[in-house]
Amino acid sequence: MNSEETKQILDFVAAADGRNVTAQTYGAWHLVIGHLGFDITRNATLMALQDTDIRWVEPKHILAKVAKLVAAKEADERRERALTAQVENQGSAMPNCKHGKGLLYCDPCCHQAAINAGLIANKPYRMKTNV
């Protein structure tokens, strides 16, 4: 916000609670809340004035209400993204090997895949035999 917008916010608060405002008050409020956007600050100020737990609105109350508004907006955006997200395609089924089995269920083919990936040394596959 610029200083004129901060002045509008503080004038709104002063009109609501009857406080006396000086040039120093405008400057102090601008230092505390001047980095915020005008629209969200105006909404936060209204929320702070409506809050029954706040007797005298201070800049810290407006900062807290802005944080709530931002969190609510982010939650709405996450919810909207979740509702409109496209379902990702599931992975394809396991490819069949030359022996007609699933690649990971065929010991010779699984062994060759590990060799091709460089995970094991290139040695011929030997079936274990029960003796």
User: Please, where are the H alpha helices in the chain?
Assistant: 3-17, 23-33, 38-50, 59-84, 107-116
Indicate whether this model's pTM tops 0.75: no
Looking at residue 89, its pLDDT comes to: 67
Q: Residue 71, CB half-sphere, CA atoms under 13 Å: how many?
A: 7
Query: Which position has the higher pLDDT, 33 or 102?
Result: 33
Over residues 51-109, the pLDDT tens digits come to 999 999 999 999 999 999 999 999 999 998 888 877 666 666 777 878 778 767 777 87
Query: Which position has the higher pLDDT, 90 or 42?
Result: 42
pLDDT exceeds 90 at position 42: yes
